[in-house]
Amino acid sequence: MIEIFDQARLSKAKRAFTTRRVPVQDMRALETGPVAPMAGDLVLARVEAVGRLQRVELTTGRKAAIFAGDEIVVVYGNRYAPDAYEAEVPDDLSDCDLAAGGGIASLVLNSNAVWESKGSPTRLRPIGLVTDSEGRPINLARYALPMRPLLNRQVPVIAVCGATMNSGKTTTVAGMVRGLTQKGMRVGAAKITGTGSGNDYWKFVDSGAAHTLDFTDAGMGTTYLADVEHVVRGAEAVVAELISRGCNAVVLEIADGVHQRETHALLSHPRMQALADRWVYAADSAASAAVGCQVMSGCGLSVTAISGLLTASPLAMREAAGLVRARFCALPELTEGSAPLAWIESVSRLSAYA
pLDDT average, residue stretch 282-296: 92
| The pLDDT of residue 10 is above 80 | yes
| Residue pair 89/38 in contact by the 8 Å Cβ criterion | yes
Beta strands in 32-112 (DSSP E): 42-49, 55-57, 63-65, 71-76, 79-80, 85-88, 96-100, 104-111
Q: What does CATH list as the number for 157-336? A: 3.40.50.300
Per-domain residue ranges of the chain: 2-140, 157-336
Q: What is the pLDDT of residues 56-88, one digit of tens each?
A: 999 999 999 999 999 999 999 999 988 888 999
pLDDT average, residue stretch 252-265: 92
| Residue pair 331/311 in contact by the 8 Å Cβ criterion | yes
pLDDT average, residue stretch 332-338: 75
| Residue pair 226/295 in contact by the 8 Å Cβ criterion | no
117, with CB counted inside 10 A (0-12, 13-18, 19+), is: exposed
Q: Percent of the chain having pLDDT more than 70?
A: 94
Closest CA to 232 of 242, 220, 249: 220
Confidence (pLDDT) at 151: 66
Question: Which residues is 105 bridged to in the sheet?
Answer: 76, 98
225, with CB counted inside 10 A (0-12, 13-18, 19+), is: middle
* Structure-model confidence comparison of residues 104 and 344, the more confident one: 104
Confidence (pLDDT) at 182: 86
Instruction: State the Cα–Cα distance between residues 116 and 86, nearest whole angstrom.
Output: 12
Residue count of the chain, please give it: 354
Instruction: State the Cα–Cα distance between residues 334 and 168, nearest whole angstrom.
Output: 13
Closest CA to 104 of 232, 223, 228: 223
Q: Which of 66-70, 79-83, 170-174, 286-290 has the highest mean pLDDT?
A: 66-70
What is the Rg, in whole angstroms, of the alpha carbon atoms belonging to the chain? 21
Confidence (pLDDT) at 289: 92
Closest CA to 120 of 31, 57, 48: 48
Confidence (pLDDT) at 147: 87
| The pLDDT of residue 300 is above 70 | yes
Mean pLDDT of the chain, nearest integer:
90
* Structure-model confidence comparison of residues 163 and 89, the more confident one: 89
- Using the 8-state DSSP alphabet, how is residue 260 labeled? S
